[in-house]
Chain A
Amino acid sequence: MKTGFKEYVLWIGSAIAIAALAIIFFTGHLEIYVLGVFVFGIIVTLGSLSVMAGCGHKEDERLKKIIAFSLMNSWVTGVTLLSTVLFLSYFNWLGPLSAIQAMSLTIAIMLLMFYCWYAYYSLKGDVE
Protein backbone atom coordinates (compact mmCIF):
# COMPACT_ATOMS: atom_id res chain seq x y z
CA MET A 1 0.00 0.00 0.00
CA LYS A 2 1.39 3.44 -0.89
CA THR A 3 1.96 6.04 1.83
CA GLY A 4 -0.22 8.60 0.04
CA PHE A 5 -3.20 6.25 0.06
CA LYS A 6 -2.66 5.37 3.73
CA GLU A 7 -2.60 9.07 4.55
CA TYR A 8 -5.95 9.61 2.81
CA VAL A 9 -7.46 6.67 4.72
CA LEU A 10 -6.10 8.14 7.98
CA TRP A 11 -7.54 11.60 7.24
CA ILE A 12 -10.95 10.21 6.26
CA GLY A 13 -11.10 7.87 9.28
CA SER A 14 -10.20 10.72 11.62
CA ALA A 15 -12.69 13.11 10.01
CA ILE A 16 -15.46 10.54 10.59
CA ALA A 17 -14.32 9.94 14.20
CA ILE A 18 -14.10 13.68 14.96
CA ALA A 19 -17.54 14.31 13.43
CA ALA A 20 -19.01 11.54 15.63
CA LEU A 21 -17.20 12.97 18.68
CA ALA A 22 -18.58 16.45 17.96
CA ILE A 23 -22.13 15.00 17.87
CA ILE A 24 -21.50 13.16 21.16
CA PHE A 25 -20.04 16.27 22.80
CA PHE A 26 -22.78 18.68 21.76
CA THR A 27 -25.75 16.35 22.32
CA GLY A 28 -24.35 14.93 25.57
CA HIS A 29 -25.45 11.36 24.81
CA LEU A 30 -24.67 8.57 22.38
CA GLU A 31 -27.21 7.24 19.87
CA ILE A 32 -26.62 3.79 18.41
CA TYR A 33 -26.02 5.06 14.83
CA VAL A 34 -23.49 7.63 16.12
CA LEU A 35 -21.80 4.80 18.02
CA GLY A 36 -21.54 2.82 14.76
CA VAL A 37 -19.96 5.79 12.95
CA PHE A 38 -17.62 6.40 15.89
CA VAL A 39 -16.48 2.75 15.98
CA PHE A 40 -15.87 2.75 12.22
CA GLY A 41 -13.86 5.99 12.40
CA ILE A 42 -11.76 4.80 15.34
CA ILE A 43 -11.00 1.41 13.75
CA VAL A 44 -9.93 3.04 10.46
CA THR A 45 -7.83 5.68 12.28
CA LEU A 46 -6.04 3.27 14.60
CA GLY A 47 -5.57 0.69 11.83
CA SER A 48 -4.03 3.15 9.38
CA LEU A 49 -1.91 4.73 12.13
CA SER A 50 -0.53 1.31 13.11
CA VAL A 51 0.27 0.48 9.49
CA MET A 52 1.91 3.87 8.93
CA ALA A 53 3.86 3.66 12.20
CA GLY A 54 5.31 0.48 10.74
CA CYS A 55 4.22 -2.52 12.75
CA GLY A 56 6.82 -4.93 11.37
CA HIS A 57 7.51 -2.84 8.26
CA LYS A 58 10.67 -0.80 7.82
CA GLU A 59 9.75 0.92 4.59
CA ASP A 60 9.77 4.57 5.67
CA GLU A 61 11.97 5.44 8.65
CA ARG A 62 11.23 9.17 8.38
CA LEU A 63 7.45 8.66 8.47
CA LYS A 64 7.75 6.31 11.45
CA LYS A 65 9.77 8.96 13.28
CA ILE A 66 7.30 11.73 12.43
CA ILE A 67 4.35 9.64 13.67
CA ALA A 68 6.17 8.63 16.88
CA PHE A 69 7.10 12.25 17.68
CA SER A 70 3.61 13.53 16.84
CA LEU A 71 2.05 10.88 19.11
CA MET A 72 4.52 11.78 21.85
CA ASN A 73 3.65 15.48 21.69
CA SER A 74 -0.05 14.65 21.56
CA TRP A 75 0.46 12.50 24.68
CA VAL A 76 2.17 15.37 26.52
CA THR A 77 -0.69 17.69 25.55
CA GLY A 78 -3.18 15.07 26.75
CA VAL A 79 -1.50 14.76 30.15
CA THR A 80 -1.37 18.55 30.52
CA LEU A 81 -5.03 18.87 29.53
CA LEU A 82 -6.11 16.11 31.92
CA SER A 83 -4.18 17.67 34.80
CA THR A 84 -5.82 21.03 34.10
CA VAL A 85 -9.32 19.58 33.82
CA LEU A 86 -8.74 17.49 36.97
CA PHE A 87 -7.69 20.63 38.82
CA LEU A 88 -10.75 22.53 37.54
CA SER A 89 -13.15 19.71 38.37
CA TYR A 90 -11.70 19.41 41.90
CA PHE A 91 -12.76 23.00 42.60
CA ASN A 92 -16.03 22.57 40.67
CA TRP A 93 -14.99 25.16 38.11
CA LEU A 94 -15.62 22.91 35.16
CA GLY A 95 -19.32 23.53 34.69
CA PRO A 96 -21.94 20.93 33.83
CA LEU A 97 -19.89 18.39 31.86
CA SER A 98 -20.95 14.74 31.72
CA ALA A 99 -18.53 11.80 31.69
CA ILE A 100 -19.27 11.05 28.01
CA GLN A 101 -18.57 14.69 27.11
CA ALA A 102 -15.26 14.62 29.00
CA MET A 103 -14.26 11.42 27.20
CA SER A 104 -15.22 12.68 23.74
CA LEU A 105 -13.40 15.96 24.37
CA THR A 106 -10.23 14.10 25.41
CA ILE A 107 -10.27 11.82 22.33
CA ALA A 108 -10.93 14.75 19.99
CA ILE A 109 -8.12 16.85 21.47
CA MET A 110 -5.68 13.94 21.36
CA LEU A 111 -6.51 13.36 17.69
CA LEU A 112 -6.40 17.05 16.76
CA MET A 113 -3.10 17.61 18.55
CA PHE A 114 -1.66 14.61 16.77
CA TYR A 115 -2.67 16.08 13.39
CA CYS A 116 -1.27 19.52 14.27
CA TRP A 117 2.14 18.04 15.10
CA TYR A 118 1.97 15.61 12.18
CA ALA A 119 1.30 18.50 9.75
CA TYR A 120 4.05 20.58 11.37
CA TYR A 121 6.70 17.83 11.14
CA SER A 122 5.59 16.84 7.64
CA LEU A 123 5.97 20.40 6.41
CA LYS A 124 9.30 20.73 8.19
CA GLY A 125 10.48 17.46 6.66
CA ASP A 126 11.98 15.93 9.81
CA VAL A 127 11.58 15.96 13.58
CA GLU A 128 14.93 17.62 14.42
Chain B
Amino acid sequence: MSEKGRYDMLSKNIHRDNSIFLGILTLLGIAAFAEFMIGNTGSVFAITILMFVLVGIIAVLRILMTDRRIQTIQNEVPDERTRKIDTYAQSKSWYVTFMLICIFVFLNTFRIIELSVYEVLIILFIAMSWSWIAFKWYYGQKGDIE
Protein backbone atom coordinates (compact mmCIF):
# COMPACT_ATOMS: atom_id res chain seq x y z
CA MET B 1 0.00 0.00 0.00
CA SER B 2 1.27 3.47 -0.86
CA GLU B 3 2.28 5.96 1.83
CA LYS B 4 -0.76 8.12 1.09
CA GLY B 5 -3.13 5.14 1.19
CA ARG B 6 -1.66 4.02 4.53
CA TYR B 7 -2.02 7.53 5.91
CA ASP B 8 -5.63 7.85 4.69
CA MET B 9 -6.60 4.51 6.20
CA LEU B 10 -5.00 5.25 9.55
CA SER B 11 -6.44 8.73 9.60
CA LYS B 12 -9.91 7.25 8.96
CA ASN B 13 -9.44 4.71 11.76
CA ILE B 14 -8.25 7.39 14.17
CA HIS B 15 -11.27 9.56 13.37
CA ARG B 16 -13.62 6.61 13.88
CA ASP B 17 -11.94 5.76 17.22
CA ASN B 18 -12.14 9.37 18.30
CA SER B 19 -15.86 9.55 17.43
CA ILE B 20 -16.57 6.46 19.58
CA PHE B 21 -14.41 7.84 22.39
CA LEU B 22 -16.14 11.22 22.23
CA GLY B 23 -19.54 9.48 22.35
CA ILE B 24 -18.54 7.64 25.54
CA LEU B 25 -17.16 10.86 27.03
CA THR B 26 -20.39 12.70 26.24
CA LEU B 27 -22.45 10.00 27.97
CA LEU B 28 -20.19 10.18 31.03
CA GLY B 29 -20.46 13.95 30.94
CA ILE B 30 -24.26 13.84 30.86
CA ALA B 31 -24.24 11.33 33.74
CA ALA B 32 -21.94 13.51 35.82
CA PHE B 33 -23.97 16.64 35.06
CA ALA B 34 -27.19 14.85 36.04
CA GLU B 35 -25.52 13.73 39.26
CA PHE B 36 -24.44 17.31 39.89
CA MET B 37 -27.96 18.68 39.29
CA ILE B 38 -29.84 16.02 41.27
CA GLY B 39 -27.79 15.59 44.41
CA ASN B 40 -24.53 17.33 44.95
CA THR B 41 -23.64 15.79 48.27
CA GLY B 42 -21.84 12.68 49.40
CA SER B 43 -19.03 10.59 48.10
CA VAL B 44 -20.90 9.52 44.93
CA PHE B 45 -20.77 13.12 43.74
CA ALA B 46 -17.07 13.40 44.55
CA ILE B 47 -16.29 10.16 42.74
CA THR B 48 -18.34 11.20 39.70
CA ILE B 49 -16.59 14.56 39.48
CA LEU B 50 -13.20 12.92 39.96
CA MET B 51 -14.04 10.47 37.17
CA PHE B 52 -15.12 13.38 34.98
CA VAL B 53 -11.78 15.17 35.58
CA LEU B 54 -9.78 12.01 34.93
CA VAL B 55 -11.67 11.25 31.72
CA GLY B 56 -11.02 14.85 30.59
CA ILE B 57 -7.29 14.46 31.26
CA ILE B 58 -7.23 11.10 29.43
CA ALA B 59 -9.10 12.63 26.48
CA VAL B 60 -6.62 15.51 26.22
CA LEU B 61 -3.65 13.10 26.38
CA ARG B 62 -5.26 10.81 23.82
CA ILE B 63 -5.81 13.67 21.37
CA LEU B 64 -2.22 14.82 21.81
CA MET B 65 -0.99 11.27 21.18
CA THR B 66 -3.21 10.94 18.10
CA ASP B 67 -1.76 14.13 16.64
CA ARG B 68 1.71 12.76 17.32
CA ARG B 69 0.85 9.53 15.49
CA ILE B 70 -0.40 11.45 12.47
CA GLN B 71 2.70 13.62 12.47
CA THR B 72 4.99 10.57 12.71
CA ILE B 73 3.30 9.03 9.67
CA GLN B 74 3.78 12.25 7.78
CA ASN B 75 7.53 11.93 8.32
CA GLU B 76 7.63 14.58 11.03
CA VAL B 77 6.32 17.21 8.66
CA PRO B 78 3.97 19.38 10.75
CA ASP B 79 0.42 19.36 9.43
CA GLU B 80 -0.57 23.00 8.95
CA ARG B 81 -4.31 22.27 9.04
CA THR B 82 -4.07 20.33 12.35
CA ARG B 83 -2.01 23.12 13.90
CA LYS B 84 -4.53 25.72 12.74
CA ILE B 85 -7.46 23.72 14.09
CA ASP B 86 -5.65 23.23 17.42
CA THR B 87 -4.90 26.93 17.79
CA TYR B 88 -8.42 28.07 16.94
CA ALA B 89 -10.02 25.38 19.10
CA GLN B 90 -7.95 26.55 22.08
CA SER B 91 -8.72 30.20 21.43
CA LYS B 92 -12.47 29.44 21.28
CA SER B 93 -12.11 27.43 24.47
CA TRP B 94 -10.50 30.52 26.03
CA TYR B 95 -13.67 32.54 25.22
CA VAL B 96 -15.91 29.81 26.66
CA THR B 97 -13.89 29.62 29.89
CA PHE B 98 -13.78 33.37 30.23
CA MET B 99 -17.54 33.71 29.82
CA LEU B 100 -18.18 30.79 32.15
CA ILE B 101 -16.13 32.41 34.92
CA CYS B 102 -18.06 35.67 34.42
CA ILE B 103 -21.34 33.74 34.75
CA PHE B 104 -20.05 32.14 37.96
CA VAL B 105 -19.13 35.57 39.32
CA PHE B 106 -22.75 36.69 38.79
CA LEU B 107 -24.25 33.52 40.23
CA ASN B 108 -22.00 33.79 43.25
CA THR B 109 -22.67 37.51 43.76
CA PHE B 110 -26.45 37.12 43.70
CA ARG B 111 -26.18 33.92 45.77
CA ILE B 112 -27.97 31.83 43.15
CA ILE B 113 -25.40 29.10 43.70
CA GLU B 114 -22.62 29.09 46.26
CA LEU B 115 -19.57 27.12 45.28
CA SER B 116 -16.38 26.40 47.15
CA VAL B 117 -12.95 27.15 45.66
CA TYR B 118 -12.44 23.47 44.99
CA GLU B 119 -15.75 23.16 43.10
CA VAL B 120 -15.06 26.29 41.03
CA LEU B 121 -11.62 25.00 40.05
CA ILE B 122 -12.90 21.56 39.08
CA ILE B 123 -15.75 23.00 36.99
CA LEU B 124 -13.36 25.39 35.21
CA PHE B 125 -10.84 22.64 34.57
CA ILE B 126 -13.56 20.44 33.09
CA ALA B 127 -14.93 23.33 31.00
CA MET B 128 -11.48 24.17 29.63
CA SER B 129 -10.51 20.66 28.61
CA TRP B 130 -13.94 19.65 27.32
CA SER B 131 -14.62 22.80 25.34
CA TRP B 132 -11.22 22.40 23.67
CA ILE B 133 -12.02 18.78 22.78
CA ALA B 134 -15.46 19.77 21.49
CA PHE B 135 -14.13 22.62 19.30
CA LYS B 136 -11.29 20.46 18.03
CA TRP B 137 -13.74 17.74 17.10
CA TYR B 138 -16.09 20.27 15.47
CA TYR B 139 -13.37 21.90 13.35
CA GLY B 140 -11.91 18.47 12.55
CA GLN B 141 -15.27 17.34 11.20
CA LYS B 142 -15.71 20.59 9.32
CA GLY B 143 -12.27 20.28 7.78
CA ASP B 144 -11.17 23.86 8.32
CA ILE B 145 -11.68 26.80 10.68
CA GLU B 146 -13.45 29.11 8.23
Interfacial residues of chain A within 69-115, with CB under 8 A of chain B in the complex? 69, 71-72, 74-76, 78-79, 82-83, 85-86, 89-90, 94, 97-104, 106-107, 110, 114
Chain B interface helix/strand/loop/mixed: helix
Interface string of B94-126 (1 = CB under 8 A from A): 110111011011001100001111111110110
Which residues of B have CB within 8 Å of A82? 121, 124-125, 128
Which residues of A have CB within 8 Å of B118? 86, 89-90
A97 to B117, CA, bound (A): 7
Residue of A nearest to B86 (CB): A72
* B18 on interface, CB distance cutoff 8 Å: no
Which residues of A have CB within 8 Å of B91? 53, 67-68, 71-72, 75
A58 to B124, CA, bound (A): 32
* A46 on interface, CB distance cutoff 8 Å: yes
- Chain A residues bordering chain B, tally (CB within 8 A): 36
A75 to chain B, nearest CB (A): 4
Apart from A35-B109, A71-B94, A100-B109, list 11 A-B contacts with CB within 8 A.
A42-B102, A69-B87, A71-B95, A72-B86, A75-B93, A85-B121, A89-B118, A98-B117, A99-B108, A106-B101, A107-B101
Count, A-B residue pairs, CB within 8 A: 88
Residue of B nearest to A86 (CB): B121
Given known A-B contacts A82-B124, A83-B125, A102 and B94 have beta carbons under 8 A apart? no
Q: Can you identify 18 A-B contacts, CB atoms within 8 angstroms? A: A30-B109, A46-B95, A46-B98, A46-B99, A53-B91, A71-B91, A72-B91, A72-B94, A83-B125, A86-B121, A90-B118, A99-B117, A101-B117, A103-B108, A106-B101, A107-B101, A107-B102, A110-B98
